Amino acid sequence: MKKLFFICFFIAAACISYSFAQDGKPLFAHAIGVQAYTYRNSFSGGVAAVLDSVKALGITEMEGPNPKNVSPEEFKKMLDDRGISMPSIGIDYNSIVKDPDAAIKLAKVFGSKFIMVAWIPHGKTFTIDDAKKAVDDFNRVGKILKENGITFCYHDHGYEFGPYEDGTLFDYIVKNTDPKYVSFEMDLMWTFHGGADPAKLLYKYKGRWKMVHLKDIRKGVDNDLTGGTDTHNDVAVGTGQLNYPEIIKAAKAVGIKHYFIEDESPSHATQIPVTIAYLRGLKE
Tens-place pLDDT, residues 175-201? 999 999 999 999 999 999 999 999 999
Tens digits of per-residue pLDDT, 113-140?
999 999 999 999 999 999 999 999 999 9
Averaged pLDDT, 150-157: 98
Residues β-bridged to residue 212: 186, 259
Angle at 126 between CA 172 and CA 183, to 5 degrees: 40
- pTM attached to this predicted model: 0.92
Burial of 64 (0-12, 13-18, 19+ CB in 10 A): buried
* 65: pLDDT strictly greater than 70: yes
pLDDT band of residue 216 (cuts 50, 70, 90) is very high
Share of the chain above pLDDT 90, in %: 92
Q: How many folded domains does the chain comprise?
A: 1
The residue-averaged pLDDT of 276-283 equals 98
- Predicted confidence (pLDDT) at residue 151 exceeds the cutoff of 70: yes
CA angle at residue 174 from 170 to 177, to 5 degrees? 130
Residues 6+ apart with CB under 8 A from 164: 128, 131, 171, 172
Q: Which domain holds residue 148?
A: 2-281
For residue 229, name the pLDDT band (cuts at 50, 70, 90): very high
Q: What is the DSSP-derived secondary structure letter of residue 30?
A: S
Neighbours of 3 (CB within 10 A): 12
pLDDT for res 77: 98
Confidence of residue 43 (pLDDT cuts 50, 70, 90): very high
Mean pLDDT computed over every residue of the chain? 94
Confidence at residue 22, expressed as pLDDT on a 0 to 100 scale: 52
- pLDDT at residue 10, as a whole number: 52
User: At 83, which CATH number?
Assistant: 3.20.20.150
In 3D space, the residue among 138, 141, 122 whose CA is nearest the CA of residue 130 turns out to be 122
pLDDT of residue 57: 98
Tell which residue, 179, 163, 92, has the closest CA to residue 128.
Answer: 163
pLDDT (tens digit, 9 = 90+) per residue, 240-263?
Answer: 999 999 999 999 999 999 999 999
What is the structure's pLDDT at 5?
43
